[in-house]
Structure 1
């Protein structure tokens, strides 16, 4: 068993406003921990690249960029904007559109997520990201039990404990995707030896990154898979992010709102495939 900090201390030490969406979700997850009992799988520890990273690198090389397509029915800011969208038909549309991997919400209260969705998605064969708000070992055990290949770790929340959580994730066979909100958090991901680095910033030109490209992150993480995680409303937005140096993009709300998610993804990737052919 790894030595991780007390979840309550993490949540109450974020420095976030009690009215912020992220803090509300964290408080909710803290309460959920008292009821969380899971039986994790007996998986081998991970030392290098796993299936999630491998899929992203392969498609970034072969088609000019990879897409992590997200299944998300609700959010704290939007409410239940896509609640009731059938899981497997949506994921099949993503797969047919060229998605490299899935991101599936696990948080139930605000995002209406479910670990059952992660388990059900296994039949499609693409690697899966457990999209949650990890503050405890029990959530890593939950992610492991779903069979997910990767898990999201938010540096803004975990701060100096990010490396410990990344180590604990790898011990369970999970690939940690370390999410940053600005460059002040780079050190946390570096200490964690992150191989998958995401940036969740809707305006990269003003969100303390200095320039609207992947260049600042590439300098900090020359060998990592760099993922743009937000602010991608159209296929053109996704293409622009990939052309700006990101290896992959994570698209959620736009795909869930789209009447044709398969076509959305095909349009996002079509010109990129031409450029690398």
Structure 2
């Protein structure tokens, strides 16, 4: 088992601009770590595909695409754009609309998230991603304690420690979803033997959007579930991303802003069915 680096050293070594959104979030997480115990794991080492990966693969095969539907109330760039949205009705709408899994924000300061939200979502019996900014074992312990099936690992932050964090996640029974922002980060995910690989269209330093494609990722990760994250404002955007070769999509802001999140998701899958005829 590889020891994880000191969190403060890890954040410094990431070399992010001091005023970037991501650096601000990491700085607040460093403060929060003082309140989090790195409890021992009670789960078995994860050696086989877990329920999160299995749900995405099932829907990608049977419907032509899977959706990880996200609950978040705020972001550093948008502020509290969906503050006060009741969580359980929102997640119920996601499930009824055909979502394959949930992503739930755990970072409290900039995203108004809470690990307790993952625990509260358990009765809906859907796989849950702990969406946080992991830089320490204590956050993996928090993800395990709240019942998450999967955990986000950001390669831009973890860099050559990504594999060590993925191993630490699996030792807690957590499925690591390794998030990339450009192709220079591919080797970090390969070293981590990632089975879930996300590419974020949003630059977390500037929060500007690009349009990633799946082809180079499929070449690098022929067996992985490829996930497009961010920048999907409409069902048509979602369909185009799946057509571009992604297996799954992570959609947050558009669903949180939608007056009908269930209908938003249903339109994605209706479009997929029409295309398959």
**TM-score, normalising length from structure 1?**
0.95
Q: Is residue 13 from structure 1 mapped to residue 5 from structure 2 by the alignment?
A: no
Q: Is residue 141 from structure 1 mapped to residue 131 from structure 2 by the alignment?
A: no
Q: Is residue 48 from structure 1 mapped to residue 48 from structure 2 by the alignment?
A: yes
Matches within 5 A, 1:93-242: 93-202=93-202, 212-242=212-242
Shift of 1:202: 4.3
Q: Is the 8 A contact 1:40 1:142 kept in 2?
A: no
Q: Is the 8 A contact 2:232 2:254 kept in 1?
A: yes
Q: Which runs of 4+ in 1 moved over 4 A?
A: 38-41
Shift of 1:38: 6.3
Shift of 1:274: 3.5
- Please list every run of 5 or more consecutive structure 1 residues that lacks an aligned counterpart in the other structure: 204-209
Shift of 1:39: 4.8
Q: Is the 8 A contact 1:60 1:248 kept in 2?
A: yes
- Structure 2 equivalent of residue 245 of structure 1: 245
Q: Distance in 2 between matches of 1:22 and 1:71?
A: 19
Shift of 1:276: 4.0
- Structure 2 equivalent of residue 59 of structure 1: 59
Shift of 1:116: 1.0
Matches within 5 A, 1:22-101: 22-37=22-37, 39=39, 42-101=42-101
Shift of 1:2: 5.0
Q: Is the 8 A contact 2:201 2:212 kept in 1?
A: no
RMSD of aligned Cα (Å):
1.6
The DSSP-based 3-state class of the residue aligned with 2:263 is helix
Q: Is the 8 A contact 2:150 2:177 kept in 1?
A: yes
**TM-score, normalising length from structure 2?**
0.95
Count of aligned pairs: 271
The DSSP-based 3-state class of the residue aligned with 1:245 is coil
Q: Is the 8 A contact 2:50 2:149 kept in 1?
A: yes
Q: Distance in 2 between matches of 1:110 and 1:197?
A: 24
CA deviations on 1:130-172 (whole Å, 9 max, x unpaired) are 0000000000000000110000000000000000000000000
- Please list every run of 5 or more consecutive structure 2 residues that lacks an aligned counterpart in the other structure: 204-209
Shift of 1:239: 0.6
Deviates more, 1:39-48 or 1:185-194: 39-48
- Structure 2 equivalent of residue 261 of structure 1: 261
Q: Distance in 2 between matches of 1:85 and 1:135?
A: 28
Q: Distance in 2 between matches of 1:109 and 1:87?
A: 18
Q: Distance in 2 between matches of 1:69 and 1:2?
A: 33
The DSSP-based 3-state class of the residue aligned with 1:25 is helix
